[in-house]
Amino acid sequence: MNRLQLLGLTVAAALLVTGNAHAAGDKAAGRKLVYTCNGCHGVPGYENAYPRYPVPKIAGQNEQYIVNALHGYKSGDRTHPTMVAQAQSLSDKDIEDIAAYLSSLTK
């Protein structure tokens, strides 16, 4: 086996391990926290005022994606002013709970 194949196997194994990791949130608690999310993400066809783009639906989204996105907004790595403000008000547990609830919904 050459180095490139070995590297590929190592990366694939790492992705499998991290891909199986998921948030351990409480869906019931998350359901109580998403009321502000629904103001934008729960409105069919809603567009953000500036910059203008459709607001993504988050119901049924991958749990770990939601966790990563909210942490990104909270840390400032993602830069949407409304989302930054919302995420900064959430604890890590809140984020896990929200992700658990939203990911349990059907798209």
pTM: 0.72
Residue 100 lies in a domain: yes
- Kindly report, residue by residue over 6-23, the tens digit of the pLDDT: 555 555 555 554 444 554
CATH code of residue 43: 1.10.760.10
Total domains, the chain: 1
CA distance 107 to 103: 9
SS3 assignment, position 54? strand
Token pair for residue 3? 């180095």
Residue 34 lies in a domain: yes
Residue 21 lies in a domain: no
Residue 19 lies in a domain: no
- Kindly report, residue by residue over 24-74, the tens digit of the pLDDT: 899 999 999 999 998 888 888 777 776 677 788 899 999 999 999 999 999
What pLDDT was estimated at residue 24? 83
Residue 76 lies in a domain: yes
Full domain range(s) for residue 70: 27-104
What pLDDT was estimated at residue 31? 96
Residue 63 lies in a domain: yes
Residue 16 lies in a domain: no
The residues, ordered by sequence, that sit 6+ positions from 45 with a Cβ below 8 Å of its Cβ are 54
Residue 17 lies in a domain: no
